[in-house]
């Protein structure tokens, strides 16, 4: 019963499109607000989905961001088509970033993406290879 998905929101995220970066996570946020989800949960999901979306924009070849609603949890899924995370342990370290100067000049790439996602999540699974990365983040209601 609790594993039955009630609703999935899906968004395409385009690599290097900094103009649109943040739009998918904004849409997720406003959908959750209209569902009446508690504000402390929304705050966590806002941060998680924003960081995940920016990771897609900055580091991936592009991909999808999903937000799945269950009776007892919300799951954010980020899927991309590569190039994969070379060293996951290193990527989880606060302040570590592979972002180039051009990205940092825009105020992104501070090396807080994955650490922040971990900080605000109840469960985090990362599956990565050169074919692509899937990140599954769970927040219990």
Partner 1 sequence: MNFSVMFDKDKCRGCTNCMKRCPTQAIRLIDGKAFINTAKCIHCGECIKICPYNAYTPESIEWYNQMHDTPKKFKIAIPTTSLYGQFPRGTDICKVQNAILRLGFDFVYDASWAADLVARAIKLKIDKEKTVRPYISTYCPAAVRLIKYRYPSLMDNLILIREPMEIAGILARERVRKNFGLKDEDIKVFYISPCPAKLLAVTNPIGDYKPSVDWVIPLNKIYGDLYRDVIREDNNTCSYPSLLGVKWAVAGGQSEHAELKNYLAVHGMENIIEIMEEIENGKLSNIDFVEASACVNGCVGGTFNVVNPFIATSNINYILNSLDDECINPDIDRFDEMYKTGFFNYKLKEEERPDQLNLKEAVERQEKIKEICDMLPGLDCGSCGAPTCLAHAEDVYNKESEFYDCVVLRAKK
The answer to whether 138 contacts partner 1 (rule: CB under 8 A) is no
In angstroms, give the least distance from the CB of 71 to partner 1. 6
Contact 128, 90 (CB under 8 A): no
Least distance from partner 1 to the Cβ atom of residue 22, Å: 7
Token pair of 140 as six digits: 């219990």
Do the Cβ atoms of 45 and 29 come closer than 8 Å?
Answer: yes
Distance CA 100, CA 88 (A): 18
Among 14, 15, 18, 22, binds partner 1 (CB under 8 A): 22
Q: Which of 65, 56, 63, 1 is nearest to 31 (CA)?
A: 65
Applying CB under 8 A, among 15, 27, 37, 136 the residue interacting with partner 1 is: 37
Dig out the tokens for 138 from the structure: 């769970």
Q: Which of 46, 55, 73 is nearest to 16 (CA)?
A: 55
Q: Return the bridge partners of 10, or none.
A: 66
Check binding of 115 to partner 1 (CB under 8 A).
no
Taking CB under 8 A as the criterion, the residue among 16, 20, 35, 88 binding partner 1 is 35
Among 29, 78, 103, 133, binds partner 1 (CB under 8 A): 29
Q: Give the x-and-dash track for 116-135 against partner 1 (CB under 8 A).
A: x---x---------------
**Beta-bridge partners for 74:** 69, 139
Nearer Cβ to partner 1, position 8 or 125?
A: 8
Residues of the shown chain interacting with partner 1 in the complex, contacts defined by CB under 8 A: 6-7, 22, 25-26, 29, 31, 34-40, 42-43, 46-47, 50-51, 69, 71, 116, 120, 141
């Amino acid at each position: 019963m609790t594993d039955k998905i009630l609703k999935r929101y899906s968004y395409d995220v385009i690599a290097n499109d900094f103009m649109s970066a943040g739009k998918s996570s904004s849409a997720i946020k406003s959908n959750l607000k209209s569902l009446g989800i508690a504000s402390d949960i929304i705050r966590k999901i806002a941060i998680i989905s924003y960081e995940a979306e920016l990771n897609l924009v900055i580091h991936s070849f592009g991909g999808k961001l999903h937000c799945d609603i269950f009776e007892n949890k919300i799951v954010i899924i980020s899927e991309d088509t590569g190039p994969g995370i070379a060293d996951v342990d290193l990527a989880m370290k606060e302040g570590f970033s592979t972002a180039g100067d051009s990205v940092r000049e825009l105020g992104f790439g501070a090396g807080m993406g994955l650490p922040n996602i971990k900080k605000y999540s109840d469960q985090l699974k990362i599956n990565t290879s050169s074919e692509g990365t899937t990140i599954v983040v769970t927040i219990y209601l």
